[in-house]
Structure 1
C-alpha cells in the first residue's frame, strides 16, 4: 500500500524503548499490588487493580543504553512505517479501531504525530505512569476510566515489556496518545455535548481554543503529563466541593449504610413508631443527627430539628414532618445520589473553565440568582422559574440593557391558551388586567367589537399590551439579554410566591424577588454609565417606559444544577424537569469522536497527501489551501 506521508529519519533505540516500557509496567505491578504475570496473557481485568501512587521514576543511566545494535535503524524505520499505516487506515476510514479499541481523536493524532515527524512519542516511563494514574483518577471526576483504554493500556504495556512486535508498540503509542487527548478534553469541557441532552435547549459549546499540540508533545517527552492534565481540570471551589461529595457518597454506597424506610402515615413530633429508629440511623449517616439515642422509636425535638435540616438540604418544606416527599428523599439510595452528583459535575465542566470574573448565575433547579463581581458573590436573590410544561432553558448570554416601567406583551401562545379563554369566561378580564388590544398598525381596538369565541384555540390577529405599573406582569423592571427563547429576568407583582420552597410558576422567564437591588448593583459596577441610582428612582416615579443600556454587558448563565455544596453541606434539589437521567445516560455511553479540520496542499491530481487522493472522513475534514505546504491544523475545534 502507498504510504501517504514521507518517511522521516529519526534515530531512536528500540531496545531502549522496550527497557523503558518494561520499567513502566514493572512500576505499575509494584504500585498496584498486582502479581507479576507468569502467563503472558494474564493481565489485570479491572481498573480497581490500578492504584498508582508513584511520584518519580528513575531512568536507566545513559551509559547502559548508549551502545545499541546497528539494526535498530531498521527497526526505527519499521516503526515509522507501521505508525503511518495505522494513521492512514484511521484517517481514510478503512479502520476506526486499534486492537479492538475505538479511536476518538483521529484529527488530533494526525497533527500531533506530524509535528513529531511521525515517530513514536511515549519513550518516557514517567509519562506512561502519570497517564495511567490520571485515567484511574478520572473516576473521582465522575468520568469512566474505561473510556480511556485503561485495561487495553495495561495489557499492551505488559506485551511491550515482554518484547512485543513493532506493530504492538505503535498501537500502544497511539492508544496512549488517544487516551491523553480525550481525557484532557473531557476534563476541561465535559464528555457530553450539552446540545444533545435536555431538549437541545442548552449551553452552546465553549469558544474553540487554540490546539496546544506543542504543549502535549513537551509534556509526553518531558514526563509532565500529570501537570498538563491538572491544568485542564477545573479548580473552581464549586467543582472541587462536588468532587468531595462524590467521594463521600461512594463511601456511603460501599458501606451500604442506610436501609429503606417503609411507607405509612406521616410521622410528626411526639409520635412513637418503629420506623423512627431507621430514620434516626439514616440521618446520622449524612450528618443531620448526632449519633446518640439511635435506637429510640420516639420522635423527639432533637429528631424534629434534624428532619428540618434534612428537608432544607433537599429543598423541601422544612416543617419537621416526615410526609411522602421527605420519606421519598430519605429513601433515595447512595448510588442514585452518586449519579446525581456525576451529572452535576458534568454540567459544571460545561461552563466552569469559561466563567468570567463577573456574571449572573441563575440556578434554575435551586430557584436562586447569584451575582458574582470580581470572582466574589456580592448578592443573591430568590427567583421563580418556568413550570415543568414551560421549562426555563439552559444557555449563556449577556445582559445588554434594562427597561424601567416596562409594558408587557403576552406571547401568542399565552394569548391563545390562556388569555382568550379567560376573556370568553369573563368579559371584564381585559379591563381587570389593564390589557389593551392593538391592530398591526398599533391602533387601539375596542375589544367589544372582536368575536372572541371565533379565536378560541387559534392565533389572535391582534396584539395585547399591558401598560406599565406595579401590577404589570413584569413589575417595574426587566433585564434583557439576547437569546432565541424570548427569556429574560424581570420583576413581578406576585411577591407572595417567593415564600414557597418550590418556585416553578412562570412561562419560562425568571422572576426576581429583589430586582431593583440587582439593577442598582449592576449600574454601580458599570463604569461610565450615566444612569445613577437617583435617576432610577426618578424614572420609576415618572411611570415612563425607559431603556437603560449597559456600557459593559454582564454575562449571564442559566444553569440547571440539581446538586451543589453550600457552607460544607451537600444540597440535593428535586429534578424539576427530569433532566438528570439524560445526562447520566450520556456519561455512561461510549464517548463521541472529536473532530479537527486539517488543511492539505493542492496538487495537479487534486487534494492529496503524498499522492493519495483525499476524501472527507467522519473525524477529519480536509480543506483546500494552496498557500500551505504539508498537512496543517487549523484549530477548528481544539482540545
Structure 2
C-alpha cells in the first residue's frame, strides 16, 4: 500500500516541480500571488497562520528544492502509515491530498495545496507526539494535562530540522513505546493467523488432573508460548510451571491452579490483547517526555508503585488504589513529590465527613470517637454539647482530624505531592488488603505495602543512614514534615498492557473500565483492528 503511494507521489512531485519552477522564474508578482493564495487559505487566527506570517508566507511543501521534495515525500509516507502507531488516519485522506497535488495548475492552487499539507502535517504531528484523543473528554478520572506543541512550533521545527528528521522525533522515544510497537506487530500477525486457537472451558484445573479440558489447557498454553508441545494428557509439573508463568504475566495469584480468573484471562483473544496495546500506545503519548532521571511510577491497573532511577526500577511495592465507584477511583496525573510526613494526622476529607461520619454522629454523638471534631479555630468540640441532627452536608461547620497513632488511617507516614485532587501515597493499618489479587479499596489515595522501605529509598539521596533517620523521627511520636531536598516527579498511570523489566509483555485487568472507553474513542476516531478475530 505504501509503495503504491510512493509511486503515485513521484508523479505528483513531477507536476509540482513544473509549477514551482514556473513560479520561481516568473515575475515577482507571482511570488506575491503565492503569498496572497496562502493567506487566503490559511485558517484565520490559527497557529498555522501565525507561522506563515512570521515565515513571510514562504512555501514549506511546494518548493522545488531537495528539502521541499523530502518533506513532501516523508509527509505522504507518514500519513500513509498512521496505523503503524495505532493512530487514526485523521481528517485528511492521503488520496485526497494526492489528488489536490496532481490537479494543482495555478499559483492559487499551489497556495491551497500548501495549506492543506501544513494542516495535515500539524494534525499528524500532534496525534503522534501527544495522542489523538483528549483524556478529559473520555473519563473524569483522566485528569492528566497533556503537553501539546503548538501548530506554529511544529512547523518551525520542521523547517529548522536537517532534511526530514523532524518526523523521527515526533513519536515517544521511550523504551516502553518502542517495545509496545513491537508487541503490536506480533499481535497483528497473530490475529491474521487466527489467534491462539480454541479456548478452554471455565473450570478448575490443577496439578494431577487429567481429561479433555487439561488437553485444551495444554494446547492453549503451547500456542501462547508458555509450554512446549507434548502429548501428555496430565496436568504435570511442566504445566504447573507454565500456569504460574502465565499468572505472573497477568497479575494473577501465582498458585498454579487454573481457576476461573486464570482461565478467563487465558481465553482472552489476541484481538482483545491487541486493543490493550493500542490503548497503551495512546496512553504513552499522553505522558511527559521528560519523566525525571529519578521518578515514581504508580501503575493503578498493576497495583504497584516503583521508584525508577535512570531507567531502572530500584524499588517496588504493592499498592491499594481507590475503590471502583464514581467518587473514589484514583485519578491519573503527574506531579512532584515535595515532602513526607512522619506520624501524620489524618485530616478527614469533607466528602467523607458528610457522607460517612455525619450520619453516624446524628445517630450517636459519640460515634467515631477516635476522630477529633474541631471548630474553625482548631479547638476540639465537646460532642455532648452539639446537636448533630441540625446539620446537613452543606452546613456542617466542623472539621475532623485523627491524631497520629498506630491505628491512624494514614498509618505512620504519608508522601506528599500537593495537588487539587488531594491524592497522595501513604501507609495503612489495613495490611491484610495487600494479600488480595485485586486491590481497589481506598477513598482514592494510594496505600503502600512497604511504606517504611519506600521512605528509606527516597531519603537515601539526602541522609547517610536513611533508616536510622526515619526511625529517630518516628520514635518521637510527633507529626513531622521532612522536606525532600530534590523533588521527585510522580506519575500516576493506568496501564493494562506494558512491557516488563525483562522485555516480556504484561497484561492486567481493566478494573476501572477506562481502557474500554479509550478503545471506543479510538475506534470512533478511525482506529481499526485486522479483520480476522483470534
Could you tell me the TM-score, scaled by structure 1's length?
A: 0.71
Q: Which residue of structure 1 aligns with residue 242 of structure 2?
A: 306
Cα shift at 1:239: 1.3
Question: Which structure 2 residue ranges, 5 or more long, are not aligned?
Answer: 527-534
Q: Deviations over 1:416-467 (max 9, x none)?
A: 3333455678887534xx3233333333334445455666878644333222
Cα shift at 1:388: 0.7
Q: Deviations over 1:96-147 (max 9, x none)?
A: xxxxxxxxxx522551475154446343433333223333343222112455
Aligned mates of 1:382, 1:477 — CA distance in 2: 16
Counterpart check, 1:543 vs 2:477: yes
Counterpart check, 1:354 vs 2:290: yes
Q: Which residue of structure 2 aligns with residue 73 of structure 1?
A: 26
Match of 2:143 among 202, 209, 231: 202
Q: Which residue of structure 2 aligns with residue 142 of structure 1?
A: 86
Q: How many residues align?
A: 514
C-alpha distance 384-90 of structure 1, shift in aligned 2 (>3 A): same
Cα shift at 1:263: 4.3
Q: Which residue of structure 1 aligns with residue 261 of structure 2?
A: 325
Match of 1:186 among 127, 137, 146: 127
Q: Which residue of structure 2 aligns with residue 575 of structure 1?
A: 510
Counterpart check, 1:115 vs 2:55: yes
Describe the SS at the equivalent of 1:377: strand
Of the two, which has the highest radius of gyration? Answer: 1
Q: Which residue of structure 1 aligns with residue 351 of structure 2?
A: 413
Describe the SS at the equivalent of 2:120: helix
Q: Deviations over 1:332-382 (max 9, x none)?
A: 222222221111111111124131222111111111111123443321111
8 Å CA contact 1:109, 1:177 repeated in 2: no
Match of 2:228 among 290, 296, 302: 290
8 Å CA contact 2:342, 2:480 repeated in 1: yes
Q: Which residue of structure 1 aligns with residue 95 of structure 2?
A: 151
Q: Which residue of structure 2 aligns with residue 128 of structure 1?
A: 72
8 Å CA contact 2:43, 2:49 repeated in 1: no
Describe the SS at the equivalent of 1:553: strand
Match of 1:523 among 442, 452, 459: 459
Describe the SS at the equivalent of 1:380: strand
Match of 1:402 among 328, 340, 343: 340
C-alpha distance 395-517 of structure 1, shift in aligned 2 (>3 A): same
Question: Which structure 1 residue ranges, 5 or more long, are not aligned?
Answer: 1-24, 41-56, 94-105, 592-639
Counterpart check, 1:345 vs 2:287: no
Q: Deviations over 1:491-522 (max 9, x none)?
A: 11112221222111110001112222222222
Describe the SS at the equivalent of 1:199: coil
Q: Which residue of structure 2 aligns with residue 534 of structure 1?
A: 468
Q: Which residue of structure 2 aligns with residue 98 of structure 1?
A: none
C-alpha distance 177-92 of structure 1, shift in aligned 2 (>3 A): closer
Aligned mates of 2:182, 2:288 — CA distance in 1: 17
Aligned mates of 1:127, 1:86 — CA distance in 2: 18
Deviates more, 1:300-309 or 1:466-475: 300-309
Cα shift at 1:580: 1.0
Aligned mates of 2:22, 2:399 — CA distance in 1: 87
Aligned mates of 1:284, 1:426 — CA distance in 2: 61
Q: Deviations over 1:27-76 (max 9, x none)?
A: 954967x9999xx9xxxxxxxxxxxxxxxx9x9xxxx99xx8899516x8
Describe the SS at the equivalent of 2:26: helix
Aligned mates of 1:89, 1:544 — CA distance in 2: 67
8 Å CA contact 1:495, 1:513 repeated in 2: yes
Q: Which residue of structure 1 aligns with residue 36 of structure 2?
A: 84
The residue correspondences of 1:229-244 to structure 2 (distance < 5 A) are 229-244=167-182
Counterpart check, 1:472 vs 2:420: no
8 Å CA contact 2:292, 2:488 repeated in 1: no
Aligned mates of 2:24, 2:35 — CA distance in 1: 19
Q: Which residue of structure 1 aligns with residue 532 of structure 2?
A: none
Q: Deviations over 1:147-167 (max 9, x none)?
A: 55323234445x25xx85555
Q: Which residue of structure 2 aligns with residue 367 of structure 1?
A: 303
Q: How large is the Cα RMSD of the aligned pairs? A: 3.7
Cα shift at 1:87: 3.9
Aligned mates of 2:70, 2:425 — CA distance in 1: 52
Aligned mates of 1:232, 1:30 — CA distance in 2: 22
Q: Which residue of structure 2 aligns with residue 497 of structure 1?
A: 433
Describe the SS at the equivalent of 1:184: helix
8 Å CA contact 2:41, 2:111 repeated in 1: no
